[in-house]
Structure 1
Amino acid sequence: MNHDELRFAHDRPIARQQDDLLDRADFAQRLAWAVSSWQNQESLVISLTGSWGSGKSSIKNMTLEQLTNNQGCQVIEFNPWQWAGQEKLSSAFFEEVSRVVQRHDPTEADKELAKVLRRYERRLNAGVNVLNQTAKWAPILLGSALVTTALGTVAEGTAAQMTIWTLSAVSWLGSIAPWLKQGAEWCLRKSNILEQQAKDNELTLSQIRAQLQQLLSDRQQPLLIVLDDLDRLSTEQLKAMFQLVKAHMDFANVVFLLLFQRDTVEQGLERAGFDGADYLEKIIQVPFSVPAISGSQLEEILFSRLNAILDSEPQLQQRFDKTYWAEMFQRGMRPFFGNLRHVYRYASTLAFHCRLLRGTEVAEINAVDLFALECLRIFAPETYAEMPRHKMLLTGSEPYARQNEAQRNRVIEVIDLLVNLAPMPHKPATRRLLKEMFPTLDWVFTNTHYDQPIQLRWLIDSRVCCEKVFDRYYEMSIPAQELPNSLLHEFSRRITEPENFAALLVTFEDNRQSEILQRLLGLVDEFPLEQSATVVQTLLRAGERVGRRMSHTFFSPRERVLRLLRLFLKRHEQESVRSQLVIQAFNALPSLVVAHDLLAADYALRRRGDIGIFDDLGLEQLKSLYIATVRDVADSDPDAFLADEDVASYLNDLNRYSETDNEGRGWVVRHVTSPTRFLQFARAYTSFQSIPTSNGDTRTAYISHSTLEYMMGLTRVSEWVVQLESIPLSGAGLETLALVKVALERHALDATATQE
């Protein structure tokens, strides 16, 4: 399959033995030999029966190819399904037979046989045609007594009389000329036919049959008449076709090959008033069934089609999980494929949908899930169409849903609903397929629960069981609000490029940054270990530049970076290696904010008795390096340091980690020496709390008076307040000053309450 050209698979029957994939050529050759060797005084009726899509027409085509190559007989193919009316079947049948007999370099005997066949057809169908056409024109022609007389003449006598009366009628009835003109034309044509019939009438039908018998008996090769698609006929057409075959079973050197699905034809004959099975037994002398297709043969063809699709879509190959595919196919998909037509129908539309969702650099879906869903779309379409209504339940993402008995019963009810929408033969496979695609429901059926790393892996692999991915499989596109896999792939590719990674990340809003970093957690195992130093540098740089906004339900991008870094470091078993990687990266690209978070997390783990990321020596080295860097930054540019939104954390760390007691407080005393710097200092220690109200939570800012007292002393703070009250301030300055005043007032109230 060409990468730039979409080609649909088709389910047309093969025409040549060289295209045989199911080892049926030998069967076709033996059938061809049986037909060509038939030389008898009576017809031979052979049936080739099989279910829809089992390959009847392919075997027929290979048989005819063999007969053509060996010149074993003359072949007439007649498809009665192409003829709409029952009354046309007999006429069309003999017309086609006579046409083929004299088609290619006919001998005199062939010409004579064709002539007698046409004569036979006219005699068989003349009465029917007259009655049918008369019934068609009678409502118009009976409007005139003269035309009625003309019809009576036609019924009684010669063609010449009929022509004269017809022309007179048309002339006399000029007021209805348009209709009567058509009637006259029919009568003129019929007069010519009747002239020929008058000659044919010199021979009885039996005499014409005798002529046919003799001509057929003299042939050196049999005539093979192939009747295909009999199971598509209406009840009346089916009855007429089998009656035609039955009526001519005594013709010599004629072989009928009938192709149909047996149960369908038997039911049609029963509707026509026959005992279907018994009636077929009386007509068919040699019944054949299409050889069964082995499961291995069918799978081989299916797999070759799937491999062709994957070869043309390299993006799908990148994350194709062979283990997952094997489980999906063996447990769920295999029963859906019973014949070649199933394979061809499935492969055709699958190729199209793979093209839609292949992405730019990586696939936007999971290929195995797409293969499985396509099974449902083709073979259980009602189940497929119903699934989006239950997206939240199937993906385990319903808000407030608990994994309790009530929810368990609800899941079972929905799965039963989806299964019952599938056709009866596909219900068991549909149930298994749903369970394979949605491990989010394993807690219901096997009491199995999955931790977050596995769920992140599902998300990275774009599994349909993930709520954020599910819609792609139905919308056949990436929703605008979703993260395309190609973007994540680009971040993964830049993980060893610190500046490029950070530059791309900061082009997104904070919530988008957080989502990207969360999704990258599932790709940590793919970050190159051999370039670990560069990867750590990249994450330090990203932590320095990403947003820091967070909420109760939303992790900040900085927190996501920290978790990503910790997960990557844990891929190295030795704590000493982790320590040196971070120290080396920090020396190259200092990131105060990430170092602060790493130290705080490791010391918190140690206080609880847990094992941290670093070894003891490495932790002390990182702490010393971090404090020295904070001190240098703070002293070199106090204004820039105070403007950093994390300055409060750094000052607290100077107090906590420095060998000098209260180094952070000492720095404040030395450098907060102007109203502007005091406002920056106070703003850095501003905190927020949510207060429930009738209209929802209200976010309120405050400054802790105990913090002001510890870091600066309240006496000095009061002096700054007095000084600031005499200076014109902007809106932000006024807000900060107001918070400081409130803090002092709270301190005074607390002091009074303590004294009382």
Structure 2
Amino acid sequence: MNYSTDRPIDTEEQDLLGRSFFSKQLGKAIYEYNEKDGLVIGLFGKWGTGKTSIINMVVNEINKLAVNDDNKPMIMKFSPWNYSDRDNLISLFFRSLKNQINIQDNDELKKKVGKALSDYSGAFDALSLVPVVGSAVAAVLKSLAQAQGDNLLQSADLDETRIILEKALIEANKKIIIIIDDIDRLTNSQIRDVFQLVKQVADFPNVIYVLAMDREVVCSALTEVHNIDGNEYLEKIIQVPFELPELRKSKLHNIFFNKLEQILGNLPGEVVLDQNYWSKVFRNCIEPYINTLRDVNRVINTFQFKYATLYQETSFEDMIGISTLEVLEPKLYKWIASNKDAVCGGFMHGLLSNNGNGTNYNKFYHDEFERLGIDPNLAMHCISTMFPVFAKDVNEYQYSYQSLSDIRGKMRVAHEERFELYFMLDFDYIKVSRSIINACIYEYDKDKLIIVINEINKQGNIVYLLDEIRSLVKEIPYNRLNLIASVILNIQGEFKGENSRVIFTLSACDIAEYLVIDILDRLETEIEKYNIICSAVENVNKNGLGSIAQIINRIELAYGRLAGDLERKDKQIISLDHLKELEKIYVERINVIANSESILDMNKFNFAFYLWECFDKDNVKKYLEDLFEDKVNKLKFICAMAGRWNGTHGSGWSFNAKNYSEYIMDDEIYNLIKEFDKSKLYKFTEIEQIKLASFVLNYNKTEMDHANEQEALQLLNEWKIEKEE
């Protein structure tokens, strides 16, 4: 994994920002400057605009021009860090300059300028100590004098030593270039000290200073510490100012795109972009925040780290959008991460947004962002782009409708169950990897597909797999629709589990049915659809009878048959003749199964029983006559007919008498349960026991008074206590 470092470049070959021409011209101008007077050049630019890179290319150009010059310029980069006070800074500066001179191969320069520089620096040192009174200072001065063999107090004539230094610089005829970079990174007091240093030594002959800084930062610092106009102060010191223009956005964007292409190209798997969505994310979530090459590199590094790990489980567009906010607008990033319900929606959000309270969300969020120091307009556009629920709340309707299925299928950050993955690298939600899901859709043959789906079902993750495949139905190749639908239909009766919603729960079988219907809707011919359903009915086992019954009943209703009261031609996925054929095959199949094994414990017995009753009432009556010879079976039948309900105050079981009153009445059932020997409750499964308790509690009560499962468990415990007594 290659990260974009924040190191400045050194050569024009590395230049991505088009600054090499300017750098070469500036380097040439400095090299050819022949005046003896000192010169101060100011290089002004915002943080991250490439000032240091320009300086490096300037130095490189000067060195290239001076390659055959016997008297090539001496270049010193002075870093004003880690000094104790202003006087110490001046001493540090002169020591650095002296050290740089000492490493030159110019003996004349060392002899003349080096000695004069030492004397001038010594004068500064002595004068900085003289005003301090005390025996300790006297001891220091004495020690210095003994060490140097000079009397510092006598030699501390600053004007005289300065004249000698200026003369030495002229005689040496050596151009000295001093570069001070990153001035804007210093504290306000340090910035003041640096400019006092430059002011003190700026007019030395043959010395050129190049100062790089953010003008706004430096002017503000000088204004604060000097209580003067910082701009005017700079103008008195800097003779040649250069303002680096902000980078052209188009060039910055090209660099950004090139780096993204490199990242995507290095991934082992394919990444498919939604070009329309990508253009919106870039325009509203990335482009407003990227202004420098440093911005680009920081965003790219963060994105690359996260996406290399998560690219198979996240949307490229959303991950780069979220990464941009994380790096360049962290306040907004943290707000989104902390307000999942507001941006993704959810049950509570739905209740609040539909309660008619007239909340002006646009103003509410505008004020909140303003209070947090976040640009409200940029924030609203950005969040609305990636989060349709938020867009609806704040009336940002400029974007096309995005269904929940699309959001899930494209692994978008707006999907509430995938949201955390973008912010916490939380893999707990990913129950089945996208690579396995893709293999189910694109690669596995029938046998492999059955094995994989059954294994996922055993692991308890079938609901996740079905939801994911359903969100990708439009992506399934046409020639695989038949295979996938057939496999799902044939094994859906074995699926266990339900989605995790509190109220609107769907079983795995329900989700499988919806998935199959979605696939059938994509098939172009009626015969293709019929063949899939017919094959499933012919091969259905006990556990699949109920789900198959639901599919057939759905088609019956579309024709206005059975409980249907009007036709829905758009839902008539097969012909009426073929529907009647399915009815016959279904009746034959359920009779075979009912005669060979008990069907009371199968999934969705009530649906299977209803369809059987509609088409083969005589056999249903005979089946029940035989079944009801055993009182336990009567009660198991009622348990099988129970329907699950969920509400804000829990969940439980209900019993619709019209579905079974032709065969057994509520009074008889109630009496059977009350009179049943509770010591024999073991003949019923745990869930059947709860259903029996629920029936007793709900007897002769309205639906509004239905007991929930907790109340049923309480009654069941009372029965067990009675049994023990």
1:543 is displaced (CA, Å) by 1.8
- Which residue does 1:177 correspond to in 2? none
1:451-503 deviation digits (Å, cap 9, x = unpaired):
99811221232322222222222322123697765665565465854522441
1:294 is displaced (CA, Å) by 0.9
- Which residue does 2:473 correspond to in 1? 524
1:65 is displaced (CA, Å) by 0.9
Residues of 1 paired with 2:9 and 2:627: CA distance?
92
- Which residue does 1:393 correspond to in 2? 342
Verify: 1:609 aligned to 2:563, yes or no. no
Q: Does the aligned pair in 1 maintain the 2:98–2:114 contact within 8 Å?
A: yes
Verify: 1:576 aligned to 2:527, yes or no. yes
Residues of 2 paired with 1:42 and 1:573: CA distance?
87
Q: Does the aligned pair in 2 maintain the 1:94–1:117 contact within 8 Å?
A: yes
Give the 3 Å change call, closer, same or farther, for CA 407–378 of structure 1 in structure 2: farther
Q: Does the aligned pair in 1 maintain the 2:495–2:509 contact within 8 Å?
A: yes
1:585 is displaced (CA, Å) by 4.8
1:572 is displaced (CA, Å) by 1.3
1:178-222 deviation digits (Å, cap 9, x = unpaired):
xxxxxx6x4653232563246973x96555434333332234541
Aligned length: 664
Q: Does the aligned pair in 1 maintain the 2:17–2:251 contact within 8 Å?
A: yes
Q: Does the aligned pair in 1 maintain the 2:184–2:214 contact within 8 Å?
A: yes
> Which residue, out of 414, 418, 421, partners 2:372?
421
- Which residue does 2:300 correspond to in 1? 347
CA RMSD of aligned residues (A): 4.0
Verify: 1:336 aligned to 2:285, yes or no. no
Q: Does the aligned pair in 2 maintain the 1:24–1:291 contact within 8 Å?
A: no
Give the 3 Å change call, closer, same or farther, for CA 482–544 of structure 1 in structure 2: closer
> Which residue, out of 554, 563, 568, partners 2:505?
554
Q: Does the aligned pair in 2 maintain the 1:38–1:253 contact within 8 Å?
A: no
- Which residue does 2:587 correspond to in 1? 627
- Which residue does 2:211 correspond to in 1? 258
Residues of 2 paired with 1:449 and 1:275: CA distance?
47
Verify: 1:461 aligned to 2:403, yes or no. no
Residues of 2 paired with 1:452 and 1:207: CA distance?
81
Q: Does the aligned pair in 1 maintain the 2:123–2:152 contact within 8 Å?
A: no
1:278 is displaced (CA, Å) by 2.4
- Which residue does 1:310 correspond to in 2? 264
Give the 3 Å change call, closer, same or farther, for CA 482–412 of structure 1 in structure 2: farther
Verify: 1:378 aligned to 2:336, yes or no. no
Identity %: 21
Residues of 2 paired with 1:216 and 1:538: CA distance?
90
- Which residue does 2:14 correspond to in 1? 19
1:619 is displaced (CA, Å) by 1.6
1:596 is displaced (CA, Å) by 1.9
Residues of 2 paired with 1:387 and 1:536: CA distance?
39
Q: Does the aligned pair in 2 maintain the 1:43–1:250 contact within 8 Å?
A: yes
List aligned pairs for 1:46-85, cutoff 5 A: 46-71=41-66, 72-85=72-85
Residues of 1 paired with 2:532 and 2:84: CA distance?
82
- Which residue does 1:37 correspond to in 2? 32
Q: Does the aligned pair in 1 maintain the 2:77–2:178 contact within 8 Å?
A: yes
TM-score by length of 2: 0.80
- Which residue does 2:96 correspond to in 1? 96
1:113-160 deviation digits (Å, cap 9, x = unpaired):
11111112112331213445x56xx5xx6xxxxxxxxx8xx6xxxxxx
Amino acid in structure 2 at the alignment position of 1:257: V
- Which residue does 1:544 correspond to in 2? 493
Verify: 1:116 aligned to 2:116, yes or no. yes
Give the 3 Å change call, closer, same or farther, for CA 232–554 of structure 1 in structure 2: closer
Query: Greater CA deviation, 621-630 or 330-339?
Result: 621-630
Q: Does the aligned pair in 1 maintain the 2:112–2:172 contact within 8 Å?
A: no
Q: Which runs of 5+ in 2 are unaligned?
A: 67-71, 561-565, 701-725
Amino acid in structure 1 at the alignment position of 2:620: G
Q: Which runs of 5+ in 1 are unaligned?
A: 142-150, 155-183, 748-756
RCO greater where, 1 or 2, for CA within 8 Å and sep 6 or more?
Answer: 1
Amino acid in structure 1 at the alignment position of 2:52: S
1:103 is displaced (CA, Å) by 0.7
TM-score by length of 1: 0.77
Amino acid in structure 1 at the alignment position of 2:277: Y
Verify: 1:662 aligned to 2:618, yes or no. yes
Amino acid in structure 2 at the alignment position of 1:566: I
Q: Does the aligned pair in 2 maintain the 1:498–1:537 contact within 8 Å?
A: no
Amino acid in structure 2 at the alignment position of 1:83: Y
1:37 is displaced (CA, Å) by 1.1
Residues of 2 paired with 1:521 and 1:706: CA distance?
35
Give the 3 Å change call, closer, same or farther, for CA 549–32 of structure 1 in structure 2: closer
Amino acid in structure 1 at the alignment position of 2:489: L
Q: Does the aligned pair in 2 maintain the 1:623–1:657 contact within 8 Å?
A: yes
Give the 3 Å change call, closer, same or farther, for CA 725–410 of structure 1 in structure 2: closer
1:674 is displaced (CA, Å) by 9.1
Residues of 1 paired with 2:634 and 2:330: CA distance?
65
1:707 is displaced (CA, Å) by 4.4
Amino acid in structure 1 at the alignment position of 2:304: A
Q: Does the aligned pair in 2 maintain the 1:313–1:354 contact within 8 Å?
A: no
- Which residue does 1:215 correspond to in 2? 168
> Which residue, out of 226, 238, 242, partners 1:272?
226
1:13-51 deviation digits (Å, cap 9, x = unpaired):
212222111121111111111111112231122111111
SS of 1:318's partner is: coil
Residues of 1 paired with 2:575 and 2:12: CA distance?
72
Give the 3 Å change call, closer, same or farther, for CA 632–700 of structure 1 in structure 2: closer
Give the 3 Å change call, closer, same or farther, for CA 435–556 of structure 1 in structure 2: same
Amino acid in structure 1 at the alignment position of 2:150: Q
